[in-house]
């Protein structure tokens, strides 16, 4: 999900730019600027928006930033899967 899609989904849930701005403690024009791509959306806001609409904040942040973030997220998921599998084997055997 891109940044504009994320913001659009959060605005739909909140009901308006102004309502979302109140929830985030931001001025309504800031929401408009983010939606238009005039200003970059800060990482903490991306994470908060993701949580608000029920998405995983880390995955959403990684996808929205791309590049290294996405590689780190993918690597972390692989490492976590390996750790869980190894733990299950040690418990079972």
* Mean pLDDT taken over the chain: 84
Q: Is the pLDDT of residue 3 over 90?
A: no
**Which pLDDT belongs to residue 21?**
96
Residue in 37, 25, 63 with CA at minimum distance from that of residue 8: 37
**Burial readout 34-67 (b: 16 or more C-beta within 10 A, e: otherwise):** bbeeeeebeeebbbebbebbebebebbbbbbbee
Question: What integer is the mean pLDDT of 69-91?
Answer: 69
Question: What integer is the mean pLDDT of 84-93?
Answer: 74
pLDDT, tens digit, for every residue of 33-62? 998 889 989 989 999 999 999 998 888 887
Q: By percentage, how much of the chain surpasses pLDDT 90? A: 44
């Amino acid at each position: 999900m891109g940044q504009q899609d994320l913001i659009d989904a959060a605005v739909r849930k909140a009901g308006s730019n102004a309502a979302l701005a109140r929830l985030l403690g931001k001025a309504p024009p800031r929401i408009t600027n983010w939606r238009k791509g005039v200003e970059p959306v800060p990482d903490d806001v991306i994470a908060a928006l993701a949580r608000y609409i029920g998405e995983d904040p880390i995955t959403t942040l990684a996808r929205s930033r791309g590049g290294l973030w996405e590689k780190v997220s993918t690597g972390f998921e692989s490492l976590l899967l390996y750790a869980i599998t190894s733990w299950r084997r040690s418990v079972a055997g």
